[in-house]
């Protein structure tokens, strides 16, 4: 196995240091290290972060391999600086049995570009009626700890309560797609002045906030872990802040697109901007940035949602919701959080690696741990990023099999130069190694 000697990178934005990766581990960190036979990576001016961990990726396999596969999504993830992604359960068949989650886990191992961590469905077929085999998925080779019906809300409060109670047995977490379905029938975009003017049915903030409020009370009542997917409104941030102040075991994520874009994008009627939950207002974006900065929102979750051309390039009302996220997530966080001084590099490491890994319980797996500090003896999961680089996003150049990037033509900061998964380079010089 090749050893790598990274010269002069700044770990989490600290003082420049050399980092030696040997046998899958960080062997040493120090000044002027040398190592015979090691491949040298010149990293002056680059920031070293622990490999990024995504709590919310749609890989589409099995079922929609025309939109993404475990392999193409894994490559997109590595190019975005990720070393682990949680693969959402809304595949076809749905990942609601030990068999399906093991299949996804095995495909991830075969691709070998990131750790693909399957999410198990909460309910059979995402239908919201009966609990899926949560225990069997937890005990499977895929070792599922995160359960979600994402794309659908677990709307029935009694079923949600039972799911929360059940996952406690194996320290699991229910990741809720918070959307009261009776408030979003036919919804196309954020409900407000714009939706009224554009003539598109609105998705009110209250549909998200009502479920989060209900679920934090349920989580408190049963003493279980709740995670809230893709938080999108200022009111949701307030509810989370209140719940955390009461000691509720709740965590939350925000997507890159909700940190950057607003419902003004819908003025174009370009369905690339149709997403669930919808893009919100400037005031919501500001509250989400503040919530991520102060830790009320624990993590950035990409909600990478690849869609085939025929599902996306149609009239707005017919288009599927969802946008790509993996390859530009770090760039958007640099633009919205680092450059304005709202998060330093240690903060980025915390929100994009340490905390998401802890939520998924990936931080205590020995050699296979993710989200660990950059320190001698730790698994060599690292990303090197050039904060000074800027590039214009070209969807045709993305590794994802789909093209629905909301950042097409937009210039963004930061370039992922290299990614290492347990000491193996998955990305070097900004290119996937395979």
Report whether 307 belongs to an annotated binding site: yes
Smaller CB distance to ligand NCD: residue 155 or 384?
A: 155
Minimum distance, C-beta of residue 268 to ligand NCD, in the bound complex (Å): 17
Report whether 150 belongs to an annotated binding site: yes
Report whether 230 belongs to an annotated binding site: yes
Report whether 60 belongs to an annotated binding site: yes
Q: How many beta carbons lie within 10 A of that of residue 31, not counting itself?
A: 9
Angle at 58 between CA 173 and CA 111, to 5 degrees: 100
Minimum distance, C-beta of residue 144 to ligand NCD, in the bound complex (Å): 18
Smaller CB distance to ligand NCD: residue 61 or 350?
A: 61
Smaller CB distance to ligand NCD: residue 7 or 177?
A: 177
Element (H, E) at 98: helix 98-111
Q: Do residues 151 and 179 make contact, with C-beta atoms less than 8 angstroms apart?
A: no
Report whether 322 belongs to an annotated binding site: yes
What gap in Å lies between CA 118 and CA 140, rounded to an integer? 11
- 146 forms bridges with which residues in the sheet? 173
Query: Three-state DSSP class for 314?
Result: coil
Minimum distance, C-beta of residue 418 to ligand NCD, in the bound complex (Å): 30
What gap in Å lies between CA 287 and CA 254, rounded to an integer? 11
Report whether 304 belongs to an annotated binding site: no
Report whether 177 belongs to an annotated binding site: yes
- Respond yes or no on whether the N-terminal peptide bond of residue 12 is cis (omega within 30° of 0): no
**DSSP string for 203-262:** E-HHHHHHHHHHHHHHHHHHT--EEE-S---HHHHHHHHHHHHTT--EEEEE-HHHHH--
Report whether 404 belongs to an annotated binding site: no
Asked if 429 is an active-site residue, the reply is no
What gap in Å lies between CA 303 and CA 229, rounded to an integer? 9
State the catalytic residue, choosing from 54, 303, 311, 350: 303
Smaller CB distance to ligand NCD: residue 83 or 404?
A: 404
CA distances from 389 to 51, 249, 385, 412, 415 (A): 19, 39, 9, 9, 6
Query: Three-state DSSP class for 28?
Result: strand
Residues whose CB falls within 8 Å of the CB of residue 431, separated by 6 or more in sequence, listed in order: none
In terms of DSSP H, where are the helices of 322-378? Answer: 329-333, 345-349, 355-359
What gap in Å lies between CA 299 and CA 230, rounded to an integer? 10
Minimum distance, C-beta of residue 229 to ligand NCD, in the bound complex (Å): 8
Minimum distance, C-beta of residue 308 to ligand NCD, in the bound complex (Å): 11
Minimum distance, C-beta of residue 223 to ligand NCD, in the bound complex (Å): 28
Angle at 259 between CA 253 and CA 261, to 5 degrees: 135
Residues whose CB falls within 8 Å of the CB of residue 268, separated by 6 or more in sequence, listed in order: none
Q: Using alpha carbons only, how large is the chain's radius of gyration in Å?
A: 20
Smaller CB distance to ligand NCD: residue 80 or 321?
A: 321
Smaller CB distance to ligand NCD: residue 116 or 275?
A: 275
Residues that bind ligand NCD (CB under 6 A): 58, 90, 150-151, 177, 275-276, 303, 305, 320-322
Minimum distance, C-beta of residue 67 to ligand NCD, in the bound complex (Å): 9
Report whether 276 belongs to an annotated binding site: yes
Smaller CB distance to ligand NCD: residue 10 or 86?
A: 86
- Which residues define the annotated binding site? 56, 58-60, 90, 150, 177, 230, 276, 303, 307, 321-322
Q: Residues annotated as binding site for Zn(2+)?
A: 56, 58, 150, 177, 230, 303
Binding residues for substrate are: 58-60, 90, 276, 307, 321-322
Which residues are the active-site residues?
A: 303
């Amino acid at each position: 196995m090749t050893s790598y000697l990274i010269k002069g990178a700044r770990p989490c934005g600290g003082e420049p240091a050399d980092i030696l990766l040997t046998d899958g581990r960080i062997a040493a960190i120090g000044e002027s290290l040398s190592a015979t036979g090691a491949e040298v990576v010149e990293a002056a001016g680059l920031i070293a972060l622990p490999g990024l961990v995504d709590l919310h990726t749609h890989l589409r396999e099995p079922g929609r391999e025309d939109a993404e596969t475990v392999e193409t999504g894994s490559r997109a993830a590595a190019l975005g600086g990720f070393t682990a992604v949680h693969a959402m359960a809304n595949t076809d068949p749905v990942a609601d049995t030990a068999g399906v989650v093991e299949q996804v886990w095995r495909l991830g191992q075969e691709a070998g570009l990131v750790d693909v961590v399957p999410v198990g469905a909460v309910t059979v077929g995402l239908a919201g009626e009966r609990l899926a085999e949560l225990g069997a998925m937890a005990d499977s080779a895929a070792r599922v700890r995160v359960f979600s019906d994402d794309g659908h809300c677990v709307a029935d409060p009694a079923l949600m309560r039972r799911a929360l109670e059940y996952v406690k047995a194996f320290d699991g977490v229910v990741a809720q797609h918070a959307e009261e379905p009776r408030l979003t029938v036919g919804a196309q975009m954020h409900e407000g002045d714009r939706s009224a003017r554009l003539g598109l049915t609105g998705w009110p903030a209250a549909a998200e906030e009502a479920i989060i409020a209900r679920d934090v009370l349920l989580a408190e009542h049963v003493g279980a872990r709740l995670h809230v997917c893709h938080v999108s409104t200022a009111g949701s941030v307030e509810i989370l802040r209140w719940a955390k102040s009461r000691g509720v075991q709740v965590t939350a994520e925000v997507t890159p697109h909700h940190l950057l874009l607003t419902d003004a994008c819908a003025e174009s009627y370009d369905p690339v901007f149709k997403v669930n939950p919808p893009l919100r207002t400037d005031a919501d974006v500001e509250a989400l940035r503040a919530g991520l900065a102060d830790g009320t929102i624990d993590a950035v979750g990409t909600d990478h949602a690849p869609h085939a051309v025929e599902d996306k390039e149609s009239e707005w009302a017919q288009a599927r919701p969802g946008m790509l996220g993996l390859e530009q997530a770090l760039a958007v966080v640099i633009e919205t959080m680092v450059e304005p001084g709202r998060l330093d590099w240690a903060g980025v490491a915390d929100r994009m690696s340490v905390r998401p890994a802890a939520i998924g319980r990936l931080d205590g797996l020995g050699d296979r741990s993710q989200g660990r500090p950059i320190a001698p003896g730790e698994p060599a999961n690292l990303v090197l990023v050039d904060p000074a680089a800027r590039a214009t996003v070209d969807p045709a150049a993305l590794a994802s099999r789909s093209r629905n990037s909301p950042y097409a033509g937009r210039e963004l900061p930061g370039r992922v130069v290299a990614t290492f998964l347990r000491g193996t380079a998955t990305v070097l010089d900004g290119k996937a190694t395979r």
